[in-house]
Structure 1
Amino acid sequence: MPRVTAEHRAARREQILVAAMDCVAREGFHKTTMAHVVSASGLSAGAVYGYFRSKEELISAIADRAVGMVGGVFARAAGQEAVPSPAEVVERVAASIEAQAADHGVDITRVAVAAWAEAVRDEQVHTVVAAKVGQLRERCLEIIRLQQRAGLVDPGGDPHQMAQAMLALFPGFILQRLILGDVTSASLGAGVAGLTYGPAATPAADHTGGSS
């Protein structure tokens, strides 16, 4: 009997994961069953259960993939010699989301939305999603601190609050993309550039027009 290689196992696992994501993108986590995944994968039930012993285990793997899909973009941005501006970081991450939305023919942003919803009701999924969201916010924090040192954002601002604000942009981008269909990574980046334009950050007291 031929030996099953690590590459073969990885490819089979990916095949099952993509099939499951396709089911979730169409039906959501709650309606997706292991029978649906078996049928969509084209494999036997035994093969699928050989990689994922339960629906919960499969859901955790999907949530891990969906929520963690942009971590590499943050890591690359943090490793650049020239620190990117907030608008540049946001546009790059959004562009990565756009690219991965079409990967394997499965819109992973739909899976991400389903993962967020399932995290509210399922403790196991919540644990996976919370860990990934926490990692992404740490990446944002790393970028913000670099931007503060480079003078690209308010050096006196709370970096934790700014990291929260930066991360909050991406679920909004995904929802607008799916529901309104009129937002792109380029338009989001341009919008952030406008919001962070220097003169707009001038304290309100400077615009009162009063004089002593």
Structure 2
Amino acid sequence: MPKVSAEHRAARREQIVDAMLRCVARDGFHKTTMAAVISESGLSAGAVYLYFRSKDELIRAIAELVVGEGLSVVTDSSADDVPPPHQVLAAALERVVALGEERGVDVHRVALQAWAEAARNPEIRAIYAREGERGRAVWATYAEQAIAAGHLPADASPVRVAHALIGLIPGFMVQRLVFEDLTPAGYVAGLAGLMGT
């Protein structure tokens, strides 16, 4: 039996995650079943279950993907040349929007469905809480750097700044659902205005 390459396994995994994203964007998490994901992926049930044993595992993969994409921009901010908060937030939002464009799905629609599901399902809430803790730590580290760089007041609390910046992300997602012309740059221009920068 020929060995399956790591690239092939990664491509199959991405194919299944993309199918899940499309199903959730269309039908929501609650109505999306493993059977729907299998059908959407074009793969056999055995192939899908080889990579994901349950819907919760797929939800975890989506949470890790979306959060990871946004956080990658924050962690890439150099400690030597720390951009101001509105620029980092814009870059994170642009990366998430680009992720949706690359995958052909409205990530903001999926995010809203995920949060709604987390409100009713303790297992999903636990998945998002783990990712949220990771996000809070990354944003708090950025806030420490932004304080040191003079972008924020010296007595600002990095954790409180992190919570405020994280809170702006769902705000963008909700508004993007209603105002399709809203861009990350336009959204964070308001933050820059509030900060007087």
Shorter-chain TM-score category?
over 0.9
Gaps of 5+ in 2: none
1:124-203 to 2 correspondences below 5 Å: 124-197=123-196
Alpha-carbon offset, residue 80 of structure 1: 4.8
Q: Retained in 2: the 8 A contact 1:19–1:41?
A: yes
Q: Deviations over 1:124-173 (max 9, x none)?
A: 21111111112112111111111111211111122221111111111101
Q: CA RMSD in A?
A: 1.5
**CA shift digits 1:96-128 (9 cap, x unpaired):** 122112122122222222111111222221111
Aligned to 2:31: 31
Matched, 1:87 2:86: yes
Q: Quote the offset at 1:177 in angstroms.
A: 0.8
The TM-score, its normalising length taken from structure 1, stands at 0.87
User: One-letter code of the match for 2:9?
Assistant: R
- Distance, in Å, in 2 between the alignment partners of 1:67 and 1:7 is 23
- How many residue pairs match? The answer is 197
User: In the superposition, relative to structure 1, how do residues 67 and 82 fare at CA in structure 2: closer, same or farther (>3 Å)?
Assistant: closer
The structural deviation recorded for 1:41 is 0.6
Q: 1:66-97, CA deviations, whole angstroms, 9 ceiling, x for partnerless residues?
A: 333301011011x2521111121121112112
* Identity in percent: 46
Q: Distance in 2 between matches of 1:67 and 1:179?
A: 22
Please state whether the residue corresponding to 1:154 is helix, strand or coil: coil
CA contact (8 A) 2:139 2:162 kept: yes
Gaps of 5+ in 1: 199-212
Question: Stretches of 4+ moved more than 3 A in 1?
Answer: none
**Partner SS state of residue 81, structure 1:** coil
Q: Which amino acid aligns with 1:195?
A: L
Deviates more, 1:16-25 or 1:180-189: 180-189
Alignment check: 8 A CA contact 2:23 2:40 kept: yes
Q: Which residue of 1 aligns with 2:72?
A: 72
Aligned position for 2:5: 5
Separation in structure 1 between the aligned mates of residue 153 and residue 79 of structure 2, nearest angstrom: 20
Q: Which amino acid aligns with 1:34?
A: M
Say whether the 8 Å CA contact 1:64–1:128 is kept in structure 2.
no
Residue identity matched to 1:71: L
TM-score of the pair, normalised by structure 2:
0.93
Match of 2:20 in 1: 20
